[in-house]
């Protein structure tokens, strides 16, 4: 009788649930009056006039969970395509 094969856990960098949670908490905090990342993106789209190094670091800090979520979703899609054929 063959033993049932347990699924291997995903590495942290590929865990979609982890990155969804991080994106919705760290990626959007503080939430009031608007999500912080949205304000930073609007600032950059407006020419980034007056942005200092701390503002750029803050943008990277709040944007990283979103980038990692996109990466994890892309890797999952790639794996599913490979499995199909």
Number of domains observed in the structure of the chain: 1
Tell me whether residue 15 is in a domain.
no
Q: Point out the residues of the chain with pLDDT beneath 70.
A: 1-3, 7-13
Tell me whether residue 49 is in a domain.
yes
DSSP state, residue 50: T
Two tokens, residue 28 = 């959007």
In which domain, by residue range, is 59 found? Answer: 27-84
- What's the pLDDT score for residue 3? 62
Tell me whether residue 64 is in a domain.
yes
- What's the pLDDT score for residue 41? 93
- What's the pLDDT score for residue 12? 63
Whole-prediction pTM value? 0.78
Tell me whether residue 74 is in a domain.
yes
Tell me whether residue 39 is in a domain.
yes
- What's the pLDDT score for residue 19? 92
Which residues fall within 8 angstroms of residue 13, CB to CB, at 6 or more apart? 68, 71, 72
- What's the pLDDT score for residue 83? 86
- What's the pLDDT score for residue 31? 84
8, 57 Cβ separation under 8 angstroms: no
């Amino acid at each position: 009788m063959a033993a049932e094969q347990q699924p291997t856990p995903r590495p942290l960098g590929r865990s979609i649930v982890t990155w969804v949670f991080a994106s919705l908490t760290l990626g959007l905090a503080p939430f009031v009056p608007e999500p912080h990342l949205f304000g930073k993106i609007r600032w950059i789209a407006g020419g980034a006039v007056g942005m200092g190094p701390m503002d750029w670091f803050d943008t990277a800090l709040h944007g990283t969970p979103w980038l990692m979520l996109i990466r994890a979703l892309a890797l999952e899609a790639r794996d599913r395509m490979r499995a199909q054929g």
